[in-house]
Chain A
Amino acid sequence: MSEMPKVTEVTENLLEVRDVRKSFRVPHAGKNKLQALDGITLDLARGQTLGLVGESGCGKSTLARTLMMLERPDEGTVRFDGVDPFSLRGADLLKFRSRVQMVFQDPYASLNSRMTAADIIAEPWRSHKELIKNRQDRDMRVRGLLDLVGLGVKAANKFPQEFSGGQRQRIGIARALALNPDVIICDEPVSALDLSVQAQVLNLLNDLQQQLKISYVFISHDLSVVRHVADRVAVMYLGKIIENGPTEAVFERPNHPYTAALMSAAPTLDGEQRKQRILLKGEVPSPINPPSGCRFRTRCWKATDVCATTSPTASVDPEIADHSALCHHPMLLEGSGLESVSV
């Protein structure tokens, strides 16, 4: 669709998502459906990290579930290495599933407390039997994975509750690595961890990417984490990607007012240096009954009549071609418009 931010061709896209839509029926909403994904287009190159940013209810997790094939899109296509995974059946489908794995947010809820670390890590091989030869091979591979995530072989026979939160997340990462995936979808992988441990896990994910050339889809609400890990960032608002581009471009020169507001709302360590912040009024509208035209117009200080009637098309950064935003009044072309707002 023409209204989506255009993404320049990156060589060897592992994952291509084109105009994906997904809605859910919800109780007490009459004929209205909850539009969780409203025309999502994005690419992920091999060995790269795509950061997905947005507030609760923006569709980040539905997008992650769609990439995991846990949700079938109503419209649009997903291409993984050129193949539509939703067309696969049987052995081909099983094979595909091994290529996309997930690391979950809560390392307490996502590990079975009745299984040892070794059993948890080896469990994916029960569905993918061809990947291991025999019991010895299994044990050796588990030891290798434990070593790879920095836990050491002694961890193999312990149960999850014997580990700290950071160590549990390492087990979750080892389990995701067991099937040698091409892509790992990390859904808020460090937000349940303490700061000092968070850095250890981020470093581990980075090392693994260097070693194994994995791609990550990294979902997080923490902008400083995303800035640190991502090559490209997609900012979501009410089911749409409203800005998309190389990480530094999006952070240094936000084009969409929402991106600018989001960046300015996040507290920073050197906050004293900043003189003003954009304080948005209100909260994210319901995705069951989203605003007409531009989804963000109800909270936007630049909104005009056209924003209520027409969905905005992509506006490209004049200097960086693969950085664009869905906005009628993009900040890079028209300025921030903040001067005219009463303080």
Chain B
Amino acid sequence: MLGKSIAIGQFIPIESPIHRLDPRVKILISAILIVVLFIVKEWLSFLFIGSFIILLTITARIPISYIGKSLKPILFLLAFTLVLQVFFTPGDYIWEYGVLHVSREGLIRGLFIIVRLCLLILCTALLTLTTSPVELTDGLESLMSPFKKWGFPAHELAMMMTIAIRFIPTLMEEADRIIKAQQARGADFESGSLIQRAKNLIPLLVPLFINSFKRADDLAIAMESRCYRGGIGRSRLRILKLRKADILFLSITIIFITMVIFLSRFIW
């Protein structure tokens, strides 16, 4: 029952210029933005990049609520990072309480890292919200293909990704079933020390792993039966073709990012 609520990935199938973009372009744009977020060190740069991402989000017609939702899972990580930076960075102390000190540097650094994390998440969320799993794996496979010359298993990796994504809801449902079945035998997944709870996971993890191995076996047999022999000689249902809009978006992004890096390095 659990799996039924989960669409594969977070893809929202609506019409927008961003949705229509070639997945390779979207992957490249995301990659570029992520790299830049790690290079720049100024708040002003963040402002520019953040605005760019928000502009893309609006163009993609993604409801703001979805953005909020993608940040929810990492709220704990954000709080933890902030605490770590705030309490353990040396500098001018602006607040003290016994052993704990808060420094000005720590506060600023902490906030900086949090904003960077948020922007990173927004960037990847934008990618997965506007690109279906099929497009994502097609795009990745296409981008990785040039490296096949040097033995890089682009096709195999893309196939593994497809299968993994396909089975996420199925495995979640299975985990749910196993948990319930073990609870019916008195298993307790909720109480006890951390070590106790780790041990208590065995009745869940062992069957899940064993069933997954069986699945993998069955799948391999089914794939072979349908004449799968790796990537050689395969044709494709979908062939990706770049359009003017794709080149345009990519160019705009590259120009914009170059500008930001330039400003960051030499002006700010």
Is B a genuine binding partner of A?
no
Q: Residues of A at under 8 Å CB distance from B? A: none
